[in-house]
Structure 1
Amino acid sequence: MNPDNCWLAAEKALIGSAWQSSVYLHIVDGCIEAIRHQPPAEGHVQPAGEGVLVPGFIDVQVNGGGGVLLNDSPSLEGIRQIFAAHAQFGTTAMLPTLITDSVEVMQQTAEAIAAAIASNEPGIVGVHFEGPHMSLAKRGVHSPEHLRALSDAEMAVFARQDLGVKVITVAPEVVSPEQIRQLVGLGVRVCLGHSDATAQQVQAALTAGASGFTHLYNGMSALTSREPGMVGTALADEHSWSGLILDGHHVHPLSARLAIRAKGIEKIMLVTDAMPPVGTTQSDFAFYGERVVRHGTKLIAPSGSLAGSVLDMAGAVRYAVQTLQLPLSEAVQMASASPAAFLGLSAKLGSLEIGKRADMLLLDDDLNVKGYWLAGRPFN
C-alpha cells in the first residue's frame, strides 16, 4: 500500500461519528483526500480486510510500556519502545507521561520529547508531566520526596516551545490561579489531579484556564453532599475534559457510567495510565526504588495502592462496550475524537474525515486490533 496515493476499501467504517458501509478512502501523502462509496475508476485499491475501520486511538497518559518506564528511560529510544508497545493495541498518537520526579529528569525528558517532535517520531505528539506540583494527601504512588511547589526551574521546562502539546497535572491547592494563568499563557494545557482541593479551589483553577482532570475519581477529593470536591466539580463542569481509566480496578462501572452521562462522550477521554508491563509478560518492575507487582490485570505498590495500570487503549474500548454497554461508535470517540479535541489536534487527528491524517485501525468482532495504519502506512 502506497500512502502517497492509494485507495483503502473498508466493509464498514466510522466516518466522523456515523457508521458507513462500502467505504473507499483515498489516501494522498498520508492524509484522507476523498471518501466514496463506489470503487474508484482509477488507482490501486487495497482491501482493509474483514472488520470495522475506525480512527486510531489517542492516549494522553502513558507512563510506560514494553518494559520501559519513562522516568527511568527519559530518552528517544525509551519513548520509541513505549510507543511500539502501545501501537499494537491501537494507539496511533500519545503523550509520554513523566510521573513526579526531579528537575533533572524533567529536563532530560523534555530533551527527548523535543528530539522526537523535531524528527516527526511516529505517534509522539507531545508530553504530559504528571506532577510534581501535587498534594501530599492525594499523592497516590507519587514520591513524597519529589513533591514541591512550582519554581522557576520547572517553569523553564514548561515554557519550552519545542515539546509539541504540553499537558501538566497539578493540584490547585499547590499551584495558584495566577500560576495556572501563566502556564496557560505559555501554551500549556493544565489538568487538575492528585489533589484534596475544595470545590471553590477547583473552580478558581478552572476560571484561571485549567481545562482537564487527570484520571477522574482517582487521587482527588470526593463528591459529598455539602462539599462537591474535585470529583463533583469535574462532573458538573461543562467545558473541561476528564480522563477515565476503564480497567475494572480504578473506577466502578456505575461511577464510569455516571461520569459519561454527566459530561458526555465529547468530554470524556479514555486513558491507560499505563506502566512498563504493557505489551510484555513482565510480572514486576522497579518504581522509586521499590517493587510494583502485577496481579493479573492489576498493579500493586508495596503500600497496597494501585500503581498505574496494564491497560491498553483497545482494552479500554472493549470495557466501554462489553461492560458499560456503550455503542462502539461512542467508545471509539472517547478514545479518539475527545482526546484530539482536548489536545487541540482535531484539525488533523481523531476521526476519519477528509483532510485528516490517515491514522486508522481495523477491529475484529471481539474488538481486537487486526490492522493498523499510521499516516496511511501499515505499522508493524
Structure 2
Amino acid sequence: MTRLIAPTRLWMDGRFETGLAVEIEAGAIARIRPLGPHEAPDLAPHLLIPALTDLQVNGSGGVMLNSDASPAAIETIVAAQRRLGTGFLLPTLITTTAERMRATAEAIIEAWGMPGLLGVHLEGPHLNPERKGTHDATHMRPMDRATLAILERLRAAGIPVMLTLAPEIVPPNLIREIAEMGVVVSAGHSAADAAETEAGLAAGISCFTHLYNAMPPMTSRAPGILGTALASSAYAGIIVDGHHVSWPMVAIACRARPLKNRTFLVSDAMATVGGPDHFELYGEEIRVCDGALVNAASALAGAHVDLLTCLRNTVLHVGLPLEEAVAMATDIPNAAIGLIPPAVEPGRTVDEILALDADLNRIDI
C-alpha cells in the first residue's frame, strides 16, 4: 500500500523545496515527485526533514553510557532518541577510567552497524578540573597512551570518533597526532587563553564542545577559549534548552560566527530523556528540577532535553530563521564529523525522516 505525504516544505540539499510529494511503501520512501494539482495526500505536514543528528547524547531511556557500557545499553539510548525525532547520534562517554573507556570502545565496535549509531563521543577525561562541570575531576588526567590506544582501536574499526579535550591540558603535538588518526578533536571543559586555543586550532582542533558551558567568560581584552571559538572557522555545538545558555546569548553566538554553517545544536541528553526523572552518576543522584537536571548542589548536570525541543527553541525563542535552525540539527553536525548528511530520499525509512507541524511538533508518519 502506498501512502502519499505532501509537505508544505521539503528539506533537500540544504534548503526547503515546495510542491513535492513523497510516496511511502513498506515503511520507506519509494519515490519523490511533483504533487499533482488534484491529488489528496494521506498526510500534509508543514515540514518534512531528515531525522535529527545529535553529537552529544550521554544517555536516554533510563540508561547512561557511563553506567552501562554494553551494546544493549547503546541500543536503548539510540531507540529512545529515535522515538523523539533524533535518528542519528553519537553516544557520549564522559570522564571516566581507562578501563571503562576500553569497555565502551569494545561495545561500540560490537554494536557498529546499528541504525542510527554514528560513532562515539569521548568527552574527557583530558579536561581542566577547574572547568569540570558535572564530570568527576578525580578521573581527569593528562593525555596518556591508554587513550591513544583506544582511539587507534576505534579508528582501525572504521568508527567515527569525537574527542573533547582541554587544549591547555593536551599539548599541540599530541593534538596533532590524534587529529591525524581521523579523530574529530573538540575543545571543551577548558580555561584555555586565546593563545592556547589558537595553538590547539593550528594543531588540529576542529570543533568546540557546548559553547559557553564549562568555559570562562570572555572579556574585552581576554577573549579566552570562548571568544576565540566564536571568531574561528571551527565547528561548535551549543545546548539550546533555556537553562545552559540564555536565548540572547545563543543568538549572539550564532550571529558572531565568521562563516555560516559552523554552529550546530546538541542536547547533552542524560538518562532522564525518555526515561525516569532521576538517575545516578558518580555515586550521586541527578534529578529533574523545573525542567533542568541538577545534582545535590543544585548545579547543572547535563540536560533533560531532546534535540527536537532544542530546534523548536532555536526558532521560537532565539529567533533564528527556520532554514538555519534545521541545518543546525541536520546537515551541520554531520559535516562537523565528516559525514554526508542524511537526506529525505528514496530508501530512507520512516525512522529516518521527520514530519513536523507549523509549531514544530512531531507528526507520526
TM-score w.r.t. the length of structure 2 is: 0.91
Answering whether residue 147 of structure 2 is matched by residue 150 of structure 1, we say no
Match of 2:110 in 1: 115
Question: 1:105-150 deviations in whole A, cap 9, x for unaligned?
Answer: 1011111111121xx2011010000000000100111101100011
> Aligned-pair distance for 1:304?
2.7
SS at match of 2:90: strand
- Equivalent residue for 2:333, pick from 334, 339, 344: 339
Match of 1:314 in 2: 308
Runs of 4+ off more than 4 Å: 6-9, 25-35, 45-49, 353-358
> Aligned-pair distance for 1:365?
2.3
Answering whether residue 241 of structure 2 is matched by residue 244 of structure 1, we say no
- Equivalent residue for 1:98, pick from 93, 99, 117: 93
Runs of at least 5 residues in structure 1 that lack an aligned partner in the other structure? 40-44, 373-380
Alignment of 1:344-359 (within 5 A): 344-346=338-340, 349-352=341-344, 359=352
> Aligned-pair distance for 1:326?
1.8
TM-score w.r.t. the length of structure 1 is: 0.88
Alignment of 1:179-194 (within 5 A): 179-194=174-189
SS at match of 1:86: helix
After superposition, the Cα gap between the structure-2 partners of 1:220 and 1:12, relative to the gap in structure 1 and judged at 3 Å, is same
Match of 2:284 in 1: 290
Question: 1:326-349 deviations in whole A, cap 9, x for unaligned?
Answer: 222211110001101101112xx2
Percent identity over paired residues: 40
Q: Is the 8 Å Cα contact of residues 71 and 99 (structure 1) preserved in structure 2?
A: yes
Runs of at least 5 residues in structure 2 that lack an aligned partner in the other structure? none
What is the count of residue pairs matched by the alignment? 359
| Matches of 1:124 and 1:20, distance apart in 2 | 28
Answering whether residue 19 of structure 2 is matched by residue 19 of structure 1, we say no
> Aligned-pair distance for 1:350?
4.1
Match of 1:170 in 2: 165
> Aligned-pair distance for 1:354?
8.0
Q: Is the 8 Å Cα contact of residues 110 and 163 (structure 1) preserved in structure 2?
A: no
Q: Is the 8 Å Cα contact of residues 25 and 36 (structure 1) preserved in structure 2?
A: yes
Question: 1:218-239 deviations in whole A, cap 9, x for unaligned?
Answer: 001321111110000000002x
- Equivalent residue for 1:301, pick from 295, 299, 315: 295
Aligned AA (2:14): S
Question: 1:223-257 deviations in whole A, cap 9, x for unaligned?
Answer: 1111110000000002x111010000100111100
| Matches of 2:158 and 2:249, distance apart in 1 | 34
Aligned AA (2:261): E
| Matches of 2:130 and 2:342, distance apart in 1 | 36
Q: Is the 8 Å Cα contact of residues 339 and 350 (structure 1) preserved in structure 2?
A: no
Question: 1:50-76 deviations in whole A, cap 9, x for unaligned?
Answer: 332012110000000100010001111
Q: Is the 8 Å Cα contact of residues 20 and 35 (structure 2) preserved in structure 1?
A: yes
Match of 1:375 in 2: none
Two-structure CA RMSD over aligned residues (Å):
2.5
**Comparing 220-229 with 247-256, which one deviates more in the overlay?**
220-229
| Matches of 1:164 and 1:34, distance apart in 2 | 31
